[in-house]
Amino acid sequence: MDHFNLIVFLGLLLLGYVAGRIAESRHYRSIRQREAELGDVLVFASRFPPDFRVRPQTLVGGSVVVGEDYFKSIVAALQKLVGGRLKSYETLLDRARREAVLRMKEEARQKGASMVVNVKFQTFSIPGRNPNSLRAVEVLAYGTALGPAMPRG
């Protein structure tokens, strides 16, 4: 009985590590592939369009909710004791940001836009301030999609 908790702990740790690694490498492969496919939808932080021709504008956004795996949570819990970079969360948030931009670009392409300006990010902690709840974060990317310039006339 004493070892039961230890076995459960090690099992969860192993599950978290293996599943987390597989999911991460698959996700990164998919991200790189779709970033190449959507390379012609341009994104800019600038509030201003490249020229002042009249274009249809629409709000587009992409949202991702990302949660930690058990292995990452344990590494982060240990890191919390000594401080420093929470390295185990870095890839998680990198993936979330890039995925959010990709989803935003997909929406922009569906709407016939070729660029998104004024792109901003927002994050929201899903459990809020309750530390015992699920630990996940939403990353939202949004911006103004610009359609093709209207013919002058």
Partner 1 sequence: MSLPPEYANPPLPEGINVTRTHPLADFARLLGGVAVVVVAVVGVSAVAAAHLARFVPFSAEAAAVQRFERVFPEAGGGPVEPWLRDLTARIAAASRLPSGMTVTVHYVQEPTVNAFATLGGHVVMYAGLLEKLESENAVAMVLAHEVAHVKLRHPASTLGRGLVLGLALTLVSTATGSDMVGNVLGPAGLLTVLSFSRRQEREADEAAAGALATLYGHTGGAPDLFRAIEVQRTGGSPPAFLSTHPLDAERIAAVESLARARGWPTTGATRPVPPDVRAAVRRATERAAPGVVD
Q: Which is nearer to partner 1, 6 or 152 (CB)?
A: 6
Question: How far apart are CB 82 and partner 1 at their closest, in Å?
Answer: 7
Question: How far apart are CB 46 and partner 1 at their closest, in Å?
Answer: 8
Question: How far apart are CB 5 and partner 1 at their closest, in Å?
Answer: 5
Draw the binding track, 69-108, toward partner 1 (x: CB under 8 A; -: no contact): --xxxxx-xxxxxx--x-xx-xx-xx--x-----------
- Phi, psi for residue 52 in degrees, rounded to 5: -110, 30
Three-state SS annotation for the chain? CHHHHHHHHHHHHHHHHHHHHHHHHHHHHHHHHHHHHCCCCEECCCCCCCCCCCCCEEEEEEEEEEECCHHHHHHHHHHHHHCCCCHHHHHHHHHHHHHHHHHHHHHHHHCCCCEEEEEEEEEEECCCCCCCCCCEEEEEEEEEEECCCCCCC
Question: How far apart are CB 75 and partner 1 at their closest, in Å?
Answer: 5
Draw the binding track, 107-126, toward partner 1 (x: CB under 8 A; -: no contact): -------xx-----------
Strand order across the 115-125 sheet: 42-43, 115-125, 136-146, 57-67
Stretch that binds partner 1, among 9-17, 56-64, 120-128, 136-144 (CB under 8 A): 9-17
Residues lying near partner 1 in the complex (CB under 8 A) are found at 1-2, 5-6, 9, 12, 17, 21, 32, 35, 39, 42-44, 50-51, 71-75, 77-82, 85, 87-88, 90-91, 93-94, 97, 114-115, 131, 148-149
